[in-house]
Amino acid sequence: MASAIVAPAGAMPLNTTRPNARGLRRDAFQERLALISLAAPALLIVVVTILVPVGWLFWLSFTADDGSLSLEHYRRMLEHPSYARTFRITFEASALTTAICIALGYPLAYVLSGLPRRIANLCLIGVLLPFWTSLLVRTYAWLVLLQRRGLINTWGMELGLWDEPLPLVHNLAGTVVGMVHIMLPFLVLPVYGSMRAIDRDYLKAAASLGAGPVRVFWAVFLPLSLPGLLAGSLIVFILCLGFYVTPAVLGGGKVIMVSNRIANDIEIFFNWGAASALGVVLLIATLLLLALASRMLRPEKILSGGHEP
């Protein structure tokens, strides 16, 4: 006679494990469904405010003037050199602005990171002050300073530094000056956060091994702060691609960026297809930049100033 198999004391019977597993999977599915239902209003807002307009933008870019599907607007961009010049000016102004922001913002963030936290927070208020003023007001303030009879030219001629007014506005230089003033805080903040997160014990260890201050900076501090610098540079460059007010005011019609060209196509020529094609090309270029940056820096590092949250 076969002997009966007796389960160990405290063990769960085999015939109850499968129902329990199914119950756990059902509970997990219901929990995910509840979370999705809670997020449904936000997802609906994203679809209505982002996906639908972008889809409409793509549709218009492939629609000819007679309503038929066509590549006419993209073909025009390839045939007319004015479009290439517009994109060149846009990327040139964005690159110059990013480079100047790095040159000014990195040393500023380095100095702030070395201050006591209370004093550094007070100094950061000064960095954030431009955010409390309208972008349009700041742009016109630079116009008052840089125009031919502005404060800078007037003081310069009165002091004998130059004889004639310098062309400081209505050109690329004046536009970049205004853009740098607006974009500088966007670089300082992530770089400062990245520098604050660096463990000072690394610097002390390098110094104890005989490295001088310059060697410590180049070999230890700079590599550890590079993620924050890359994150800030990416933010500044991408935001500069969409500038409209500053080139329109400080450029004086001579610095036409993509956003200004889009506005002209809609307001002057009433050509929504051409404007949509420009927007699509700029959107694709921005997404390619983000994809390239994501290979070098994970998105969560961009949000946390270059270090793991």
**What is the per-residue pLDDT across 134-181, written as a single tens digit (0 to 9) for each?**
888 999 999 999 998 888 999 989 888 888 888 989 999 999 999 999
Express as a percent the part of the chain with pLDDT over 90: 43
111 belongs to a structural domain: yes
**Average pLDDT rounded to a whole number, residues 176-195:** 94
Tell whether 253 is covered by a domain: yes
**Res. 297: pLDDT tops 70:** no
Phi-psi region of 195 (alpha: psi -120 to 50; beta: other; left: phi over 0): alpha
Contact 241, 231 (CB under 8 A): no
Of 23, 123, 19, 54, give the one whose Cα is nearest residue 276.
54
Q: How far apart are CA 236 and CA 245, in angstroms?
A: 16
Per-residue confidence (pLDDT) for residue 252, from 0 to 100: 86
CA distance 241 to 258: 8
Is 0.85 surpassed by the pTM of this model? no
Q: Cβ neighbours of residue 170 under 8 Å, at least 6 residues apart?
A: 250, 251, 252, 253, 254
| Domain assignment of residue 14, yes or no | no
pLDDT tens digits, one per residue of 12-24: 454 555 667 777 7
Average pLDDT for 26-37: 83
DSSP line for 247-260: HHHHSTTSS--HHH
**pLDDT tier at 309 (50, 70, 90 boundaries)?**
very low
The token duo for 254 is 């001579």
Measured in degrees and rounded to the nearest 5, phi and psi for residue 69 equal -75, 130
Does 62 map to a domain? no
- Answer yes or no: is 299 within a domain: yes
Domain assignment present for residue 67? The answer is no
CB contact set of 150 (below 8 Å; sequence gap of 6+) = 143, 144, 168, 169
Is residue 181 included in any domain, yes or no?
A: yes
CATH number for position 199: 1.10.3720.10
The CA–CA distances, whole Å, from 308 to 211, 228, 293 equal: 27, 11, 16
Q: Specify if 28 maps to a domain.
A: no
Q: How confident is the model at residue 47 (pLDDT cuts 50, 70, 90)?
A: confident
pLDDT at 16: 55
Helix axis angle, 81-113 relative to 72-79, nearest 10°?
A: 80
> Whole domain around residue 100: which residue ranges?
82-303
Q: What is the CA radius of gyration of the chain?
A: 28
The number of folded domains in the chain is: 1
In this prediction, residue 20 carries a pLDDT of: 74
Report the chain's mean pLDDT, rounded to a whole number.
86
